[in-house]
Amino acid sequence: MRLLLMPLFVLASAAALAQVPGEPPARNPEFVALDRNRDGFISKLEAQADPEIAKRFGVFDSDSDGRLSEAEYIAAREDNDKRAVRDTLLTARVKAALLAERGIPSMSISVETYEGRVLLAGFVNTPDIVSRAGRVTATVTGVRTVHNNITVK
């Protein structure tokens, strides 16, 4: 059965990649959804519907024309996806460092990361634990800043 499925998959993939002459190339559905006026570009106003794109619109607008082409939009999405993966990995490293540290109730501390900025939150028993958790977090490679919102209960 496995041998039969593989050729079908290969054929389906080839058909999906084939371009029909005279038809416009397939468009990114997310780009099309943001391009409300259907001019083939995303303006700053249209970008507001996607906070991640809007936040760094100027960075993604590589030709500085005040709008994003589909290629610029795709590059922006790829950049954002890479950032999300980096932040997820950094969160995991911070959680591991807190877990490895004796005396820190790591299960009581939440860790959120965005662009290397780490937010710690939760409740612990003593102020010493709050400062230790912050110091441990700051030593993790990749952490740019630590916002320590851990509260003593």
Which CATH number goes with the domain that contains 126? 3.30.1340
Instruction: Please give the tally of structural domains in the chain.
Output: 1
pLDDT of residue 22: 57
Residue 113 lies in a domain: yes
pLDDT of residue 44: 95
Residue 89 lies in a domain: yes
Residue 121 lies in a domain: yes
pLDDT of residue 27: 84
Distance of alpha carbon 103 from alpha carbon 6, whole angstroms = 53
Domain that holds residue 107: 84-152
Residue 123 lies in a domain: yes
**Model's pTM, two decimal places?**
0.74
pLDDT of residue 36: 94
Determine the 3-state secondary structure of 48 from DSSP: coil
pLDDT of residue 8: 43
Residue 88 lies in a domain: yes
Would you give per-residue pLDDT tens digits along the chain (153 residues)?
A: 444 444 444 444 444 444 446 555 668 899 999 999 999 999 999 999 999 999 989 999 999 999 999 999 999 999 999 999 999 999 999 999 999 999 999 999 999 999 999 999 999 999 999 999 999 999 999 999 999 999 999
pLDDT of residue 6: 47
Residue 144 lies in a domain: yes
Distance of alpha carbon 90 from alpha carbon 148, whole angstroms = 16
The first and second tokens of residue 149, run together, are 């919102």
Residue 41 lies in a domain: no
pLDDT of residue 26: 60
Residue 52 lies in a domain: no
Q: Centre a 10 Å sphere on the Cβ of residue 61 and count the other Cβ atoms it contains.
A: 19
